[in-house]
Amino acid sequence: MNQICLLKNMIQEYAWGSRTLIPNLLGNTAPSEKPQAELWMGAHPKSPSLACYDGAWHPLDRLIQKYPVEILNEKVAGRYSSRLPYLFKILAAEKPLSIQAHPSRDQAAAGFERENLQKIPIDAGNRNYRDANHKPECICALSTYWALCGFRPIPEMQALFSKIQTPELDPIIEKLSDRVESNRIPLFFQNLITWSPAERASGLGKAVKKAEQYASQHPAFEWILRLHAEYGPDAGILSPVFLNLVCLQPGQALFLFSGELHAYLSGLGIELMANSDNVLRGGLTPKHVDVNELIKILRFEEKETDILKPVSVGICEKVYSTWAEEFVLSVITLENGLSYESGTDRSVEILFCTDGRPTFINLKNGRQTSISKGQSVMVPASIPRYRIEGEGILYKAGVPEVPEISSR
């Protein structure tokens, strides 16, 4: 296994996806028949990429099973049980996704075992844990990208809630002033998410009318109106008031820890995460919501928004620094005759082209592989060095050189 492999990647069709964003990125001018939400690059058993090796297409997870050390390298293969530790995605949100969070590694392992013992099918709608892994993730904007990420500082929540306060909301908002500081956000959120249907419908109706008055003054209120139009009397429509509302510009990114409540609202982005499909939802969805389990895994911490910008590590490459041990995201920009040369101490890498027509050169045997916008390749660890020439922009997923278990 010493070949740079072209990939065929699987598209996930979810209702919140777009009929144009992913097709356009892949070079298709016609809209798709169904909304396309995610393009998966990796070896997740649910939908592995196909890799072209020795003239045939192979599911990437099976190829890694056959050549674990050659593809991953000995250290990564040993550490992650001969599995690709990350999942690389293109994410296209035409409509807002659910408010959600992902469990820590310990929580995922315990939950997965518990639901297995309960004999809940892996694909069951009421299943919370579909694997035993955690899912820290990084989202990088390819277009203007709106997202919700972590609980706002309490004074910000209170100031925004004061604009849309109603008698039905008052007892919930008051929890943010609880005399025990550590109880404030947990009590507020638990009361909000378990709000009685009758009180919720009345309170949200009044809050939405008040939000109309302030929509032009603050985007949180505009998003309340948009979420209400999509989801009706769901308590999650108030999330732009109690979660940080972020508007990423192309090239900016967010890193999300396990247990961090978030939602992606609109836009096209590159997403890189630990190889997991565990999601616990809290609203803005017709899917299964397990309030008790969600509350168990959440980080109830006030947070300032931390927007990531890439840092140069060479002439052509910029890296997004995160706490992740399974993955690292970088962007390679080739222009003005510049070329990129890989390092020698690395694991498997997947590169996706968002512009141009770059050419990969295997420096061991001189073999060349050219790709264009919307295409991707897998470079196994067994190739000691490679060069990329031509013009283009590529996003690269890899494994950090010295993975360390984070205390976070």
pLDDT over 70 percentage in the chain: 98
Distance CA 27, CA 17 (A): 17
Range of the domain at 343: 311-398
| Predicted pLDDT of residue 59 | 98
Distance CA 149, CA 264 (A): 9
369 within domain boundaries = yes
Per-residue pLDDT tens over the stretch 16-62: 999 999 999 999 989 999 999 999 999 998 899 999 999 999 999 99
The answer to whether residues 290 and 128 touch, using CB atoms and an 8 Å cutoff, is yes
| 123 vs 390: which has the higher pLDDT | 390
Distance CA 262, CA 284 (A): 11
383 within domain boundaries = yes
For the entire predicted model, the pTM comes to 0.93
| Predicted pLDDT of residue 360 | 98
Distance CA 379, CA 297 (A): 36
Distance CA 394, CA 362 (A): 17
Q: What angle do CA 360, 361, 365 make, to 5 degrees?
A: 145
pLDDT bin (cut points 50, 70, 90) of residue 402 is low
91 within domain boundaries = no
Sheet holding 349-356, edge to edge: 56-59, 50-53, 5-8, 376-379, 349-356, 392-398, 328-334, 317-320, 311-312
Check the CA dihedral 308-313-317-322 and report its sign. Answer: negative
56 within domain boundaries = no
94 within domain boundaries = no
360 within domain boundaries = yes
| Predicted pLDDT of residue 353 | 98
| Predicted pLDDT of residue 408 | 39
| Predicted pLDDT of residue 1 | 84
122 within domain boundaries = no
| Predicted pLDDT of residue 407 | 37
The distance in angstroms from the start CA to the end CA of the chain is 36
356 within domain boundaries = yes
**Average pLDDT over the chain, rounded to whole?**
94
Total domains in the fold of the chain: 1
Question: Is residue 281 flagged as an active site residue?
Answer: yes
pLDDT at 403 over 70: no
State the CATH number of the domain containing residue 375.
2.60.120.10
pLDDT bin (cut points 50, 70, 90) of residue 261 is very high
| Predicted pLDDT of residue 277 | 85
Letter for the amino acid at 290? D
pLDDT at 112 over 80: yes
Question: How confident is the model over 85-99, as a mean pLDDT?
Answer: 96
Structure tokens at 66: 């056959």
Residue tagged active-site, from 281, 346, 357, 387: 281
pLDDT at 77 over 80: yes
